[in-house]
Structures are given as C-alpha cells and as structure tokens.
C-alpha cells in the first residue's frame, strides 16, 4: 500500500504522557481481542468487522447494477433513512461531491436528496413540491423496517411517485434496504415487488455504511464503491492485528487516557467543509456506541476555519475538558492561487501567488500550536486526499477504533438502549395501538 491515512498523537502530551498512553496498550489489545473473538457484550453485532473482505464481487456488481438503473431513469433520487441508515451515505457523498452539486453544478449523475432523517413538515412539503416536475426514484433504508421518520417520508413519496407514473413503474424505481425477514418495510417491499438489499442482523445501523445501506446511495451518486471497499479492506488487514503500532489501538488508548485525565469532550475538527457530514457520521458512531451507563466521551465537531470565528474562543480559552482530533487532508483536488494586486488595498500581497491550500495549512498549523499551548490535546489523522479509497480507510479506522474504545470504557458499544426512550414517549403521546397504558400514564403527567 503506497499511501494511507495516518494517526499522530504527539500533541497530546500537555494532558497525558506517552507512558500513560503506553500503559493502556494491554487494555486496548484485550479490547481488540474481544472484538475479534466476539466474546464480550454485543458480540452478535460484530458482522461489520470483516464486512469489507466478505463483500464480494457479486454483491458489488448487483449494487452497481441497481445504481445504474436509478441513474438511467431518474433526475433525482431520494434516499430515505435516519441515523445509521442515513449518515454514512450522506457523509461520503458530501465529501466527494462538488460543493455546489446541490445547485446542479458538476453533478455526477442524478441529484441525491435525503428524507426521513427528520419530521420537519416544511422539509417534506418543500421536498414534494420540488419533486413535482422531476423524474425521481427512491431508496428506502431501515434495518428494523419500523422507524417512524423514514416510514412517514416513504409513505408520502411512494404515494407521490405512484400518482405520477403508476404503481407498476413506481415499483421499478424503488429499492428497499432492510432486514432479510422482519419488519414492516420487508413485508411491504415483498408485496410490492421492489428490488431489495439485505442488512445483516449482525451489522448495526451506525456500522452499516460499508453495507448496501451506504453503498447503494453512494453508487447512485456516481462514486466508486469498489475503491471505498478496497480502502476499508486495507485497514481491515492492518487494524485487526492486535500488535504494537496498530493505529486503532493507539487512537482508542489515547482517547481513553485523555478521558481518564478529565478530558470528557472530543471535538472532531476538519479544515475542509466537504468533511462536515463525515463528522456527523462520526458523532453518531461514537455517541451511540459510548454514551451509556452514565459514561462516555461527548463527541462534538467543528468546521475550521469557519468555527474558529464562533467556537474558537471557547476552545482556546474555555473549560479545559476538551481534546481535538483533526482530520487533515494533505492534497486538495483543485489548485487556486491568490492573485497579485498592484494597488494592494486589501494588504494581501504578502500571500499573493500562494495556493489557498497553503494558507489553510498555515491556519491549521497555527491553530494546532495555539490550542496545544492553551491546554488542548490535539490528535491528527492525515488523509492523503478526499477520494473513495481513503474515505474507506477512514471509515474502517473509526469503526474498529470505536469498538476497541467502547470496550475500554467498560460499556457495550453495540447497543443503543437510550434511543428507545423518546420513541416510547412519542408513541404514547400519539396513542399508538399497543401503548394504551403508556398513553394514560404520560397524559397524567402533562
């Protein structure tokens, strides 16, 4: 492998020593062994560990073929899903898309839109209004097949598509990704004769971006899912070795050392706005995996330099309970230099002829030095470029690190019992059949 993502932890010694991190290596190794041997809590949700090597040519070809059909027949494809059934695809597509693709600029195929990730009435109204005169298709994704947000969006869009092109044609433009047997979406898809892809039982939502859940929307958007999987495979080969030098063990050990030293919040930082949604995906991965039993590092994210002008003050000078992990992209795709200006009224000639990326890199370096001096430990993950291969590497790196880190924290990283609390209350408030007792109880509280 010539190039790959790399982790650098040398700027955390303002809070934890190299020795303190090394002392956690045996714990990290034990945690990785639990992930690999499937012998600890949540062990029935470890199907993602060898998913890259298990994803065969036939599945990738099937996904690519379905993607081609949607690309051929649709100007717009709406991917419906929430949480793990949304964020991975959104993260990769936003990273690879032209920044102005939403306005039709250098669009790499159909316009990709997302729905079912909120219950915003205006959002759904405006989406349906936009779709009125568009030729559109739908990818509907729900592992459980019963999640309320995507179910509402799908009911609306399915009805709209059927009214527009008829039930039989609509069925050809809908692809469902769900459980092999269970759930309302499976039943509906089978009855309507939709093309379906399966989410394996052992792959939880937030670990599912490298399954059809992420791969189909990414392929529809025109990106190379084979390269994405290849990148993940490279990391699978490297990071499943419980040996010194394992980057995932190092990341997990370092963040746990920092947590134990009172650093309770990790901020994922990017200097490239294309990675904004990658941080949203990462927040879900770590938040849902670690935030339980009243424990867990709070995963936050900022886009720099944008947020240096909003959150910069807090990070530099606020309560010293934070650490940063910086996603540092080595090479931009395009070259743009700052022009010379003979009048120099804006005083910028001192950086004339420099690439914008060089200025950004100096902002990054300057910020790192300032934050380290200000008592913020800073880890750095370098990414050679924003390409499918490296995004695949990054995804797998964060997934396996998350499993290791969660076990080190002493929680089951693969369940999400806390997510149910709001659903129970919402169903009770909406008087869902089967929730009669809860409805009575909650109404008495109001």
Q: Which is nearer to ligand PA5, 147 or 246 (CB)?
A: 147
DSSP alpha helices (H): ranges in 11-147? 18-23, 25-37, 51-54, 57-73, 87-96, 121-131
Nearest distance from C-beta of residue 145 to ligand PA5, angstroms: 7
Among 128, 144, 305, 425, binds ligand PA5 (CB under 6 A): 144
Among 143, 255, 368, 380, binds ligand PA5 (CB under 6 A): 143
290 binds ligand PA5 (CB under 6 A): no
Cα 443 from Cα 446, distance rounded (Å): 5
Active-site choice (309, 336, 342, 445): 309
DSSP alpha helices (H): ranges in 74-139? 87-96, 121-131
322: three-class secondary structure by DSSP = strand
CA distances for 128 relative to 164, 167, 226, angstroms:
12, 18, 33
Q: What are phi and psi of 10, to 5 degrees?
A: -75, -10
Q: Which is nearer to ligand PA5, 293 or 358 (CB)?
A: 293
Q: Which is nearer to ligand PA5, 71 or 143 (CB)?
A: 143
CA distances for 204 relative to 48, 132, 208, 243, 249, angstroms:
8, 35, 6, 27, 21
Pairing of strands 6-11, 378-385: antiparallel
309 is catalytic: yes
Active-site choice (10, 72, 105, 423): 423
423 is catalytic: yes
Token pair 């790192």 is found at 368
Give the tokens for residue 142.
Answer: 């729900």
Q: Which is nearer to ligand PA5, 66 or 416 (CB)?
A: 416
Report the Cα 327 to chain-centroid distance in Å: 14
Token pair 């839109």 is found at 113
Cα 338 from Cα 349, distance rounded (Å): 9
CA distances for 222 relative to 65, 106, 139, 316, angstroms:
12, 12, 15, 40
Which among 414, 439, 410 has a CA at the least distance from the CA of 424? 439
Considering only residues 165-204, where is the footprint of ligand PA5 by CB under 6 A? 204
Nearest distance from C-beta of residue 82 to ligand PA5, angstroms: 5
**Helix, strand, coil % over all residues of the chain, rounded to 5:** 55, 15, 30
Active-site choice (149, 236, 238, 288): 288
Nearest distance from C-beta of residue 151 to ligand PA5, angstroms: 8
Among 11, 79, 142, 270, binds ligand PA5 (CB under 6 A): 142
Cα 36 from Cα 49, distance rounded (Å): 8
Nearest distance from C-beta of residue 313 to ligand PA5, angstroms: 32
Residue at shortest CB range from ligand PA5: 205
Query: From residue 50 to residue 89, what is the string marking binding to ligand PA5 with x (rule CB under 6 A)?
Result: --------------------------------xxxx----
Considering only residues 381-420, where is the footprint of ligand PA5 by CB under 6 A? 416
212 binds ligand PA5 (CB under 6 A): no
Nearest distance from C-beta of residue 419 to ligand PA5, angstroms: 6
Instruction: Determine contact, residues 306/298, Cβ cutoff 8 Å.
Output: no
Nearest distance from C-beta of residue 47 to ligand PA5, angstroms: 13
Q: Which is nearer to ligand PA5, 24 or 189 (CB)?
A: 189
Q: Which is nearer to ligand PA5, 285 or 378 (CB)?
A: 285
Q: Which stretch binds ligand PA5 (CB under 6 A): 58-66, 118-126, 136-144, 163-171?
A: 136-144
DSSP annotation of 13 reads: T
288 is catalytic: yes
Among 88, 205, 392, 413, binds ligand PA5 (CB under 6 A): 205
Q: What are phi and psi of 259, to 5 degrees?
A: -60, -45
Core vs surface per residue 145-164: b (16+ CB within 10 A) or e: bbbbbbbebbebbbebbbeb
Which residues are identified as catalytic?
288, 309, 423
Binding residues vs ligand PA5 (CB under 6 A): 82-85, 142-144, 147, 150, 204-206, 288, 416
């Amino acid at each position: 492998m010539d190039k790959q993502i790399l982790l650098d932890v040398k700027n955390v010694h303002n809070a934890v020593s190299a020795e303190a991190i090394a002392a956690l290596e045996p714990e990290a190794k034990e945690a990785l062994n639990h992930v690999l041997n499937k012998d600890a809590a949540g062990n029935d949700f470890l199907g993602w560990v060898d998913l890259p090597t298990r994803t065969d040519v036939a599945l990738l070809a099937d996904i690519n073929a379905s993607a081609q059909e949607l690309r051929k027949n649709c100007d717009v494809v709406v991917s419906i899903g929430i949480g793990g059934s949304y964020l991975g695809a959104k993260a990769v597509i936003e990273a690879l898309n032209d920044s102005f693709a939403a306005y039709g600029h250098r669009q790499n195929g159909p316009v990709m839109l997302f729905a079912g990730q909120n219950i915003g009435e205006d959002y759904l109204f405006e989406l349906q209004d936009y779709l009125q005169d568009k030729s559109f298709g739908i990818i509907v994704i729900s592992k459980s097949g019963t999640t309320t947000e995507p179910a509402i969006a799908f009911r609306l869009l399915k009805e709209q598509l059927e009214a527009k092109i008829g039930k039989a044609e609509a069925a050809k433009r809908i692809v469902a990704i769900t459980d092999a047997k269970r759930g309302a979406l499976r039943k509906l898809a089978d009855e309507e004769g939709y093309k379906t892809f399966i989410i394996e039982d052992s792959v939880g939502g937030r670990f599912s971006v490298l399954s059809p859940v992420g791969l189909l929307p990414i392929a529809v958007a025109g990106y190379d899912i084979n390269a994405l999987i290849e990148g993940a495979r490279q990391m699978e080969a490297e990071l499943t070795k419980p040996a010194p030098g394992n980057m995932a063990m190092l990341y997990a050990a370092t963040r746990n050392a920092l947590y134990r030293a009172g650093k309770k919040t990790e901020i994922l930082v990017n200097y490239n706005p294309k990675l904004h949604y990658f941080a949203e995906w990462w927040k879900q991965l770590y938040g849902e995996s670690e935030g339980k039993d009243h424990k867990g590092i709070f995963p936050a994210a900022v886009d720099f330099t944008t947020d240096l002008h909003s959150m910069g003050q807090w990070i530099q000078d606020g309560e010293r309970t934070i650490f940063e992990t910086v996603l540092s992209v080595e090479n931009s795709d395009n070259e743009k230099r700052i022009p010379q200006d003979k009048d120099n009224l804006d005083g910028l000639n001192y950086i004339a002829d420099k690439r914008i990326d060089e200025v950004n890199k100096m902002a990054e370096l300057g910020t790192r030095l300032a934050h380290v001096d200000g008592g913020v430990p800073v880890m750095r993950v370098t990414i050679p470029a924003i390409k499918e291969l490296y995004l695949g590497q990054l995804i797998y790196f964060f997934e396996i690190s998350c499993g290791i880190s969660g076990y080190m924290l002493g929680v089951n990283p693969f369940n999400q019992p806390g997510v149910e609390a709001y659903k129970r209350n919402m169903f009770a408030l909406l008087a869902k059949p089967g929730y009669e007792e809860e409805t009575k109880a909650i109404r008495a509280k109001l």
